[in-house]
Structure 1
Amino acid sequence: MDATTVRLILIVLGAILILALYLWERSRGPDEEGSDDGDDEDDTHEAAGPGGREPQGRHARDHVDDPDPEDEGDRPQAPAARADAAPDEGVPAPLLLQLSVAKRYGEFPGLDLLEVAESCGLRPGDMDIFHCLDEFDDGTRVYFSMANMVKPGTFPFDDMEGFNTPGMMLFAQLDGRPEDLTILEEMIATARKLATTLGGDVLDETRRPLTVRKEEELRKSVLANEARFARAARR
């Protein structure tokens, strides 16, 4: 084998070696890049947790630190104080009675209302509403009151001629006195007279027509309230 042939063989072998190195480097590069990407992906999964979600511990911590205001209604709240709680827990809360007289069609004229109210013993008074006073106690106790059904509940006593209302509300607070049952009867009779004379209907506290059965329930409530106050006084 002459020198020229040997030289050609070496050149070919060198070219093959260089090509093999080039191909090996080319095939090795993507593997290494894929390995780096895999590490980053692992870091991402480690931070986010399975399925791309945050770890439960971190998620719970973020929820506590920055609660959603819309979720406040679902949270258990501290018990609110009772509206009828008294400073002395031994004193029962007064019993609230409420009746309404509503116009069947249209509205009650102010002057007609004033005239019928006076015939029922209702007098204009404090807070610009009507009051039925205890005539046997120098007028110092209000038996019950009557307010306008429309807010703010007052009557323009100086301008009743231009006043109209769809209804009135009669109410009383009973604190267990012996005359409480009389107050209820007076209130029912007044509401019925107003309704009959002015063309309206008497409604209970749920705005339903006042029935004989409902009247009896109110009487029982008044008697039970009187008994509660009596028991509290004996303590």
Structure 2
Amino acid sequence: MRDEVLVINVMAPEGDYFEGNDLLRVMVASGMRFGEMNIFHYHEGGGADGAVIFSLANIVVPGVFDLAQMEEFATPGVSLFLALPVEGEAIKAFDQLLSTAYTIAKLLGGELKDENRSVFTAQTAEHYRQRVMEYQRRRALAMAQN
């Protein structure tokens, strides 16, 4: 069974950028921690040592951050992504992802976009939630057949 990846982009207003220092401050305030692969991660329980629940990368390829360069750094957006299966409850993980994305957007004055960079609506969130539940159902079915 293939993994499911849910992506929520937080974009700066058209023609604008998120400044590195602002981004860093907001990441830490949102419970994200810099780590493996030079991106930010949200860990189970919001600490730094639990399992990674979801991650955040720079929307600009190669997607990484250089903490030493954050003062000069700016980006048009960031991508939060949740890869299923995940430690713990998938729906709770998705809800935390969504909540964190909203918080980051609010604090940075950005807007949420889906994986295709279309406007992220309540309907989009519901569609993502259905994807999580469908993934869980297929996974339970696959496990029952083994």
Give yes or no for TM over 0.5: yes
Question: Within the alignment, does 1:198 sit opposite 2:93 as a pair?
Answer: no
Structure 2 counterpart of 1:99 = 8
Unaligned ranges ≥5, structure 1: 1-91
Structure 1 counterpart of 2:36 = 126
Structure with greater proportional helix content? 1
Max Rg structure? 1
Question: CA offsets, 1:53-109, max 9 Å, x none?
Answer: xxxxxxxxxxxxxxxxxxxxxxxxxxxxxxxxxxxxxxx111110010010041101
Asked if the contact 1:176–1:227 (Cα under 8 Å) also holds between the matched residues in 2, the reply is: no
Shift of 1:158: 1.5
Shift of 1:196: 1.2
Q: Which consecutive segments of 4 or more residues in structure 1 shift more than 6 A?
A: none
Q: 2:76 is aligned with what amino acid?
A: P
Question: CA offsets, 1:122-168, max 9 Å, x none?
Answer: 01001110000113898342100000011110011122111111100
Asked if the contact 1:178–1:226 (Cα under 8 Å) also holds between the matched residues in 2, the reply is: no
Question: Within the alignment, does 1:112 sit opposite 2:22 as a pair?
Answer: yes
Q: 1:150 is aligned with what amino acid?
A: V
Asked if the contact 2:58–2:79 (Cα under 8 Å) also holds between the matched residues in 1, the reply is: yes
> How far, CA to CA, are the matches of 1:201 and 1:176 in structure 2?
26
Pick from 133, 138, 145 the counterpart of residue 228 of structure 1. 138
Structure 1 counterpart of 2:61 = 151
Query: For 1:1-235, what aligned pairs fall within 5 Å after superposition?
Result: 92-104=1-13, 105-135=15-45, 139-175=49-85, 179-235=89-145
TM-score normalised by the chain length of structure 2: 0.92
Shift of 1:188: 1.0
> How far, CA to CA, are the matches of 1:164 and 1:170 in structure 2?
17
Shift of 1:206: 1.3
> How far, CA to CA, are the matches of 1:135 and 1:195 in structure 2?
22
Shift of 1:211: 0.5
Structure with greater proportional strand content? 2
1:177–1:126: structure 2 CA closer, same or farther, 3 Å change rule?
Answer: closer
RMSD between aligned residues = 1.8
3-state SS in 2 of match to 1:97: strand
3-state SS in 2 of match to 1:207: coil
1:216–1:152: structure 2 CA closer, same or farther, 3 Å change rule?
Answer: same
Q: 1:102 is aligned with what amino acid?
A: M
Percent of pairs with identical residues: 35
Unaligned ranges ≥5, structure 2: none
> How far, CA to CA, are the matches of 1:183 and 1:229 in structure 2?
16
